A and B are shown apart, each in its own frame.
Chain A
Amino acid sequence: MLSEFITKQAKYALENRAKFLTLTLAILYASGTAGQAISLYTNKKIPEKEKRFLIPQEIVNGVLEVVTFLAIASRFEKWGKSLAEKGVIVGEGLAKGDAGFVKAVTVLFSLVGTILALDFVTPLIRNPLTILLQKHIFKTKIEDKEQLTRPMLPSISLNTNIKFNPNNPFRYFENTMNANQTVGKAYPATSFGSNPLRIF
């Protein structure tokens, strides 16, 4: 049963090499990225501040590795093969389109393309993308978490305190504001810094 299943996959790998490579690459990078993100999230020794960068970086890295591999490395391989087969690149003393030479050039181009995609393009792009992801997607979550972890301290309600009389200088704002409406909550800060009272 298992041997038949593996035989089917091996046959598919031989018949559709490019599709097999793309599929396995996506599966391997997806599983690797998920595994790394989970291990970072569950590791209590890594500070929260570092996790906020490392987890999105890992996700961005996984996606970029697949994208850059398909966009650069696969094309380099095809490009190398085509150049050697058409005789644009010829080995001295060898016939045009020599099978061994074509294979060697294909492997060389594939290797160069993979190194360029995974070792240079991916790490160069991933950090600015991680910062963008942090700013736009994780921002609200971080703010929510900060509010949840804030110590429960007595709050003071800040009211508008408008009195409705003809002499009130704020009477023109009557349509927009109601008397004694709560405009926010003030929390005493836990440390006496430059901003002792934060208003939310």
Chain B
Amino acid sequence: MPITIPAGLTKSLLPLADLTPWKQRIAIGVIAMVSHTAIDYWSPFIKEKETREYAAIRSLIKMFITMTSGVLSRIAGQKLGEFLVKYDKMPLPAGMDKAKFAGAVGSVLSIYCALISVPLIEMPIISNAVTYVMDKFIKKKSANVSTNLKKVNLNA
């Protein structure tokens, strides 16, 4: 027996057919920022709190940076592909639809852009951002807590 989706829901479902890859990447990335961070922070398998904090902060930063670079590389690749096909910079294979071919060239160029973004954006930014956040916020916070404890002990 077929499952009939109500007219209202069908109407809101139909625009999904034209959902661009970069919008899909945002949806996956935003959920990943929350889920990866939460799962790492409350992981029962990592015993030490500092390691859990490192893993959680790293997941949050990594997901944000990879999502941003992923979206930018997809947009850049897609635009470049459309431009190259539109102005006949790429030889169009015989019998192929120009719009479809532009999309495929865009997909290929998006991958090249994503590959370039790994050493140029992801590698230097993620690692340094994690150490910066850990040094400035997490370790500072724990140092303040230990200083306060010392003060309490001295007063006692």
Contacts and interface: CB of A to CB of B under 8 A. Distances in A.
> Do A and B assemble together?
yes
B39 A123 contact: yes
Interface residues of B, number: 61
B33 to A, nearest CB: 9
A91 B5 contact: yes
Main secondary structure on A side of the interface with B: helix
A123 B35 contact: yes
A91 B13 contact: yes
Contacts of B96: 11, 14
Main secondary structure on B side of the interface with A: helix
Contacts of A32: 66, 118, 122
B104 interface: yes
Contacts of A105: 13
A89 B135 CA distance: 53
B120 to A, nearest CB: 10
A10 interface: yes
A14 B46 CA distance: 44
Contacts of A91: 4-5, 7, 10, 13-14
Nearest to B13: A104
Contact of B126 (A31, A39, A50, A118): A39
A46 interface: yes
B46 A53 contact: yes
B46 A88 contact: no
A69 to B, nearest CB: 11
Interface string B4-26: 11110010011111010000100
B44 to A, nearest CB: 9
Nearest to A57: B55
Interface of B: 2-7, 10, 13-17, 19, 24, 27-28, 31-32, 35-36, 39-40, 43, 45-46, 48, 50-51, 54-55, 58-59, 62, 66, 84, 89-91, 93, 96, 100-101, 104-105, 107-109, 111, 114-115, 118-119, 122-124, 126-128, 130-131, 135
B3 A90 contact: yes
A38 to B, nearest CB: 7
Contacts of A115: 27-28, 31
27 contacts: A3-B89, A4-B91, A10-B104, A13-B108, A27-B111, A35-B118, A36-B123, A36-B126, A43-B127, A45-B131, A45-B135, A46-B131, A50-B51, A54-B54, A91-B7, A91-B13, A92-B4, A92-B5, A92-B7, A96-B2, A104-B17, A107-B19, A115-B28, A118-B32, A119-B36, A127-B46, A131-B46
A128 interface: yes
